[in-house]
Chains A and B, each alone.
Chain A
Amino acid sequence: MTSDPRRPLRTIVATDCGSTTTKAILIERVGDEYRQTYRGEAPTTVEAPFEDVTRGVLNAIAEIEELSGRKILDGEKIITPSGASGDPKVGVDIYISTSSAGGGLQMMVAGVVQSMTAESAQRCALGAGAIVMDVLASNDGRLPHEKIERIRSLRPDMILLSGGTDGGTVTHVVEMAEYIAAAEPRPRLGMSYNLPLIYAGNKDARSRISEILGKKTALTITENLRPVLERENLGPARAKIHDLFLEHVMAQAPGYKKLISWAGAPIMPTPAAVGLIMETVAKKQGINLIGVDIGGATTDVFSVFHGIFNRTVSANLGMSYSISNVLAEATLDNIMRWVPFSIDEQDLRNRIKNKMIRPTTVPQTLDELQIEQAIAREALRLALIHHKSLATGLKGVQQVRSISDVFEQTASGKTLVDMLKLDLIVGSGGILSHAPRRVQSFLMMVDAYEPLGFTELAVDSIFMMPHLGVLSTVNEQAATDVFVRDCLIHLGTCVAPIGQGARGARCADYTITFPSGRELVKGTLAFGEVRLFPLAVGEEATVAMAPARSVDLGAGKGVPVERRARGGVVGVMLDGRERPLQLPTQTDERVRALKHWHAALNLYPE
């Protein structure tokens, strides 16, 4: 079902087969630009009683047919190309899809040194859209038999083995291969085939690896992902993961062979596609961005800083299936600090567990909504901490230092996530995309991420980033057009001075010059205060900040800054709540401060 490459794409139907629902969107060329026009949704049908993923895909597309009046299906086939029958309202030019059904792609990775090749292998697998079940390394502190037991007990979809730089010692990576062979690992799906294993380590060890693992696994050898300590080469191994995902993993899942035959481009794991669109947009617009997708079971964080893409998955931080784990990791006090009332601990714990076992329920009362949003803040915060620890420069690299570096001895492996250089935060997932008021999503992300200086925020309207990621492999222009025009709901800009000060003391003076003759606004932002100024989507204002002597807005302490701030459905927020963000420790004072902020932002109904 591949379209003719010479023919321009005018109509595209894309699906994302998720764990619970299959979401379809229609993208059409309207004038000179591409727009997302219709969407349909149906339950995913990869499990019993249907056991055929294409049923859900056809149902979701049928909903688009109904809404758009376009005939796309001919029985159980997608009609391509559009207009071939002479009727422009029949068919589409291409069908594309992503998939995370059945738990997505689950991998185990292994390397030699935990902070070097094992970490590179982990970054490689995460970037390819996998959930990493475990990271094994020669120096991970586990005894050999513990490693072997672990490999055996996990049933991943595939293993990525790396280790050693090219030309370096082979002993340790061969040792890891021996452990894997001894474990006789079995794949997650099916009993009848060998587990796919990608070797991307020291090239001198290839023949040994083939001897040891060739008969026990479906071995694929590719370029070393860390050929020298100073450089990662993740591309070839990542491409192999995608190939094996299609050939082995997807081929075992019910209905996927048919789905693959329908698609005009390779089916991608959902997170890989989301990462791809973020990377594409960041590069095209020359910005640094963080994207987050907070789901029921996991929270994915993507970042692009200075063109370097990273992705992490916090596998047990989510808003339903793993909501109890957020409580366990964040602690009750950290969750309740965001809520302007108190609740009996036992009652709260029971409520959270009940959400875990009945994940589709929604908050009916305002108290329940505030508790859920408080939990989301902590899940987002913890997932970013996790991301920062993995989105780093390469560790173990020798640095050339000059005399000027004597006073700034930064270690190698410093995080790439620089909140002051961050331009855009994109939030996705039910709790952010479907918050009753958009300002609630805005504040959840600000509270969790504590952006510094000027940062724009947006949410994904209907979670179409996966579709756009796979579309970018076929037509980058179409993907970025739709991303900018239809995918993002621009919330506005947060302006957050860095510094600490007594509550009520002067933090910064501000002057905001609005477009089209609207009267400028001048004032003083105090510590512990937030102010919100409406500024519509598509508008820009000039924000001039004159900070107090101890306060920094990116140009240095006390140095005035003037920047353009983009508007959105929320507007421009001046955040004087100190950085790092400080909440009063006394309960009465904290509740008073929260209520004050909520009122200033009109966060909840009266």
Chain B
Amino acid sequence: MAHTYTPGLTVTPRTVVSKKRILPLSGTVLVEAGEAVTAATVVARAELPGKVHVVNLVNQLGILPEDLPDYMVTREGNRIQQGDVLAETKPFLKWFKTQVRSPITGTVETISTATGQVILREPPRPVELFAYLDGTVAEVLPGQGVQVETTCAFIQGIFGIGGETWGTLVMGVASPEEDVTAAHFTAAHAGKIVVGGAFVGAEALARARAVGVKGVVVGGMHDQDLRALLGYDLGVAITGTETVGFTLVLTEGFGRIPMARRTFELLRKLDGRKASISGATQIRAGVIRPEIIVPLAPDEQIQGIEAGQWGEARGGIKVGDPVRVIRAPFFGRIGQVVGLPSDLQMIPTESRVRVMEVQFTDGSRAVIPRANIEVIEG
């Protein structure tokens, strides 16, 4: 590897974000390239095959599978209504007739003479794909979806739960060190995305759900409270499909950790703006981090937050870079790189690793493995 690059999370006042919006199966794209869309615009639609019901007719009629076609009243491909007769016996006396009726409205998909079962399918369910962002359709992928592009302020979180949503961003607290408590959530927050500071607890989350917030963005929370919120212990870091009533984005991690000041200040400047957020997190191959996207006007600049390079473009880590420590014993502390020794150094575990020297905001210094540092990007 040519240079040391410790990727961090992006916090930037202005960038262009492009999102591929792809249907789960082939369908119809409803917009054209260049078209302006809002988050709620349906950009594509598909029909999910209906739910399947299996009816074992031979068991109910007391016949052999190979004889089934002789007893069928309906045929493969036929439309049926709930209660329609599917098959019946033909006894000499009508009294002894046995009929099997359809439990659903839909179509007869297959009639099997091997197993004696009939597969019925409910009508297809339409699935609609929203644009998710206010922006422009940059590209149409025929039959599959679109690419939506927007100029925006962009903030990545470290972990989240819940899917995509959008609403007005409002500040719930006055400083990044402040906890967001149950008392902070009021009826006025219904349908809003509320920004907290260092911590949110179980009680506050319950209150957030009760008032109907759409999203909560906060520095940290306890794992135990996450377990209480979800109702189970999250074992693997793949999220985005949870339905807890709102989308939650942690910007720093687990525990009580003040939100990075730069992140907080940027969110404060975006107070009252429409934001699109997603809690989806995937830390395996194809990393996905939760995000907060606030579309901007074409020539709009957010004053007071310096823009910088991010991703590979910023190159290796340099002396002077702002960093955050992401592991004990200095977890959550923010400082500045003051030394980058190139040789491997032994740390207290006796591992020999590459390290950096960091000066914290209180002036103290520490030597920390480079793997335990995140660059604050923007």
Verify B54–A361 contact, CB threshold 8 A: no
Which residues of chain B come closer than 8 Å to A41, judged between CB atoms?
A: 1
Asked whether any CB of chain A lies closer than 8 Å to the CB of B342, the reply is: no
Instruction: Assess A357 versus B158: contact at CB under 8 Å? Given A182-B52, A436-B350.
Output: yes
Verify B236–A191 contact, CB threshold 8 A: no
Q: In B197-241, which residues have CB < 8 Å from any A CB?
A: 222-224, 226, 233-237
Asked whether any CB of chain A lies closer than 8 Å to the CB of B144, the reply is: yes
Q: In A507-550, which residues have CB < 8 Å from any B CB?
A: none
Chain B 347-364, CB-CB to A under 8 Å as 1, else 0, gives 111110100000000000
Instruction: Assess A321 versus B254: contact at CB under 8 Å? Given A178-B119, A349-B222, A350-B223.
Output: no
The answer, among B53, B143, B372, for a CB contact under 8 Å with A361, is B372
Verify A145–B53 contact, CB threshold 8 A: yes
Instruction: Assess A328 versus B255: contact at CB under 8 Å? Given A361-B327, A364-B368, A365-B328.
Output: no
Instruction: Assess A357 versus B349: contact at CB under 8 Å? Given A325-B236, A362-B371.
Output: no
A27 to B223, CA, bound (A): 47
Distance between B375 CB and nearest chain A CB, rounded to angstroms: 13
A36 to B315, CA, bound (A): 33
The prevalent SS among residues of B at the interface is: loop
Verify A365–B372 contact, CB threshold 8 A: no
A102 to B121, CA, bound (A): 34
Distance between A436 CB and nearest chain B CB, rounded to angstroms: 4
Asked whether any CB of chain B lies closer than 8 Å to the CB of A586, the reply is: no
Verify B110–A364 contact, CB threshold 8 A: no
Instruction: Assess A101 versus B285: contact at CB under 8 Å? Given A175-B117, A325-B236.
Output: yes
Asked whether any CB of chain B lies closer than 8 Å to the CB of A88, the reply is: no
Asked whether any CB of chain B lies closer than 8 Å to the CB of A68, the reply is: no
Instruction: Assess A357 versus B283: contact at CB under 8 Å? Given A42-B1, A145-B53.
Output: yes
Verify B327–A321 contact, CB threshold 8 A: no
Distance between A206 CB and nearest chain B CB, rounded to angstroms: 12
With CB as the reference atom, state the residue of chain A lying closest to B352. Answer: A436
Interface size class of B (residues with CB under 8 A): 35 or more
Chain B 90-132, CB-CB to A under 8 Å as 1, else 0, gives 0000000000000000000110101101010100000000000
Which residues of chain B come closer than 8 Å to A595, judged between CB atoms?
A: none
Asked whether any CB of chain B lies closer than 8 Å to the CB of A352, the reply is: yes
Distance between B67 CB and nearest chain A CB, rounded to angstroms: 14
Q: In A147-184, which residues have CB < 8 Å from any B CB?
A: 148-149, 152, 170-172, 174-175, 178-179, 181-184
Q: In A417-448, which residues have CB < 8 Å from any B CB?
A: 434, 436-437
Which residues of chain A come closer than 8 Å to B281, judged between CB atoms?
A: 357
Verify A364–B347 contact, CB threshold 8 A: yes
Verify A297–B348 contact, CB threshold 8 A: no
Asked whether any CB of chain B lies closer than 8 Å to the CB of A368, the reply is: yes
Which residues of chain B come closer than 8 Å to A354, judged between CB atoms?
A: 253-255, 326-327, 331
With CB as the reference atom, state the residue of chain A lying closest to B256. Answer: A350
Distance between A596 CB and nearest chain B CB, rounded to angstroms: 21
Verify A324–B224 contact, CB threshold 8 A: no
Distance between B20 CB and nearest chain A CB, rounded to angstroms: 10
Chain A 306-323, CB-CB to B under 8 Å as 1, else 0, gives 000000000010001110
The answer, among A175, A184, A321, for a CB contact under 8 Å with B284, is A321
A149 to B348, CA, bound (A): 52
Asked whether any CB of chain B lies closer than 8 Å to the CB of A585, the reply is: no
Verify B350–A356 contact, CB threshold 8 A: no
Verify A174–B112 contact, CB threshold 8 A: yes
Asked whether any CB of chain A lies closer than 8 Å to the CB of B77, the reply is: no
Asked whether any CB of chain B lies closer than 8 Å to the CB of A392, the reply is: no
With CB as the reference atom, state the residue of chain B lying closest to A352. Answer: B223
Verify A364–B349 contact, CB threshold 8 A: yes
Asked whether any CB of chain B lies closer than 8 Å to the CB of A261, the reply is: no
Work out how many contacts link A and B, with CB atoms closer than 8 A. 170
Chain B 275-312, CB-CB to A under 8 Å as 1, else 0, gives 00000010111100000000000000000000000001
Asked whether any CB of chain A lies closer than 8 Å to the CB of B269, the reply is: no
Distance between A573 CB and nearest chain B CB, rounded to angstroms: 20
Verify A175–B115 contact, CB threshold 8 A: yes
Asked whether any CB of chain B lies closer than 8 Å to the CB of A144, the reply is: yes
Verify B329–A365 contact, CB threshold 8 A: yes
Chain B 35-70, CB-CB to A under 8 Å as 1, else 0, gives 000000000000001011110000000000100000
Instruction: Assess A182 versus B25: contact at CB under 8 Å? Given A47-B286, A321-B283.
Output: no
Q: In A334-358, which residues have CB < 8 Å from any B CB?
A: 346-347, 349-358
With CB as the reference atom, state the residue of chain B lying closest to A345. Answer: B224
Verify A434–B351 contact, CB threshold 8 A: yes
Distance between A128 CB and nearest chain B CB, rounded to angstroms: 20
Verify A328–B235 contact, CB threshold 8 A: yes
With CB as the reference atom, state the residue of chain A lying closest to B56. Answer: A144
Verify A324–B285 contact, CB threshold 8 A: no
A321 to B351, CA, bound (A): 22
Q: In B239-281, which residues have CB < 8 Å from any A CB?
A: 253-255, 281
The answer, among A102, A179, A324, for a CB contact under 8 Å with B233, is A324
Instruction: Assess A186 versus B25: contact at CB under 8 Å? Given A178-B110, A358-B253.
Output: yes
Verify B369–A364 contact, CB threshold 8 A: yes
Which residues of chain B come closer than 8 Å to A149, judged between CB atoms?
A: 51
The answer, among B112, B235, B285, B329, for a CB contact under 8 Å with A316, is B235
Which residues of chain B come closer than 8 Å to A554, judged between CB atoms?
A: none
Asked whether any CB of chain B lies closer than 8 Å to the CB of A20, the reply is: yes
A437 to B349, CA, bound (A): 9
Asked whether any CB of chain A lies closer than 8 Å to the CB of B374, the reply is: yes
Verify A349–B223 contact, CB threshold 8 A: yes
Verify A361–B371 contact, CB threshold 8 A: yes
Verify A356–B283 contact, CB threshold 8 A: yes
A42 to B3, CA, bound (A): 11
The answer, among B144, B226, B286, B369, for a CB contact under 8 Å with A362, is B369
Instruction: Assess A171 versus B65: contact at CB under 8 Å? Given A178-B119, A366-B349.
Output: yes
A144 to B51, CA, bound (A): 11
Which residues of chain B come closer than 8 Å to A182, judged between CB atoms?
A: 52, 54, 109-110, 119, 121
Verify B285–A369 contact, CB threshold 8 A: no
Which residues of chain B come closer than 8 Å to A103, judged between CB atoms?
A: 284-285
Asked whether any CB of chain A lies closer than 8 Å to the CB of B159, the reply is: yes
Asked whether any CB of chain A lies closer than 8 Å to the CB of B26, the reply is: yes
A186 to B23, CA, bound (A): 13
Which residues of chain B come closer than 8 Å to A436, judged between CB atoms?
A: 349-351
The answer, among B65, B235, B326, B347, for a CB contact under 8 Å with A358, is B326
A436 to B25, CA, bound (A): 49
Distance between B227 CB and nearest chain A CB, rounded to angstroms: 8
Which residues of chain A come closer than 8 Å to B222, judged between CB atoms?
A: 346, 349-350
A434 to B248, CA, bound (A): 36
With CB as the reference atom, state the residue of chain A lying closest to B221. Answer: A350
Verify B283–A359 contact, CB threshold 8 A: yes
A498 to B140, CA, bound (A): 68
Verify A350–B254 contact, CB threshold 8 A: yes
With CB as the reference atom, state the residue of chain A lying closest to B234. Answer: A324
Verify A191–B286 contact, CB threshold 8 A: no
With CB as the reference atom, state the residue of chain B lying closest to A209. Answer: B114
Distance between A432 CB and nearest chain B CB, rounded to angstroms: 14
Which residues of chain B come closer than 8 Å to A191, judged between CB atoms?
A: 25-26, 143-144
Verify B236–A316 contact, CB threshold 8 A: yes
Asked whether any CB of chain B lies closer than 8 Å to the CB of A89, the reply is: no
With CB as the reference atom, state the residue of chain B lying closest to A179. Answer: B54
Distance between B217 CB and nearest chain A CB, rounded to angstroms: 16
Verify A353–B371 contact, CB threshold 8 A: no
Distance between A295 CB and nearest chain B CB, rounded to angstroms: 11
With CB as the reference atom, state the residue of chain B lying closest to A351. Answer: B328
Which residues of chain A come closer than 8 Å to B52, judged between CB atoms?
A: 144-145, 148, 182-183
Q: In A27-46, which residues have CB < 8 Å from any B CB?
A: 41-43, 46
Asked whether any CB of chain B lies closer than 8 Å to the CB of A141, the reply is: no
Verify A368–B121 contact, CB threshold 8 A: no
Please indicate which of the listed interface residues A170, A172, A182, A322 has the most CB atoms of chain B within 10 Å of its own CB: A182
8 additional A-B residue pairs with CB within 8 Å, beyond A353-B226, A358-B327: A191-B25, A347-B255, A350-B222, A351-B328, A354-B253, A361-B327, A362-B349, A605-B350
In the A-B complex, the 5 residue pairs with the smallest Cβ-Cβ separation, listed nearest first, are A325-B235, A144-B54, A436-B350, A349-B223, A350-B254
5 contacts between A and B (CB under 8 A): A175-B112, A365-B329, A365-B349, A368-B328, A434-B351
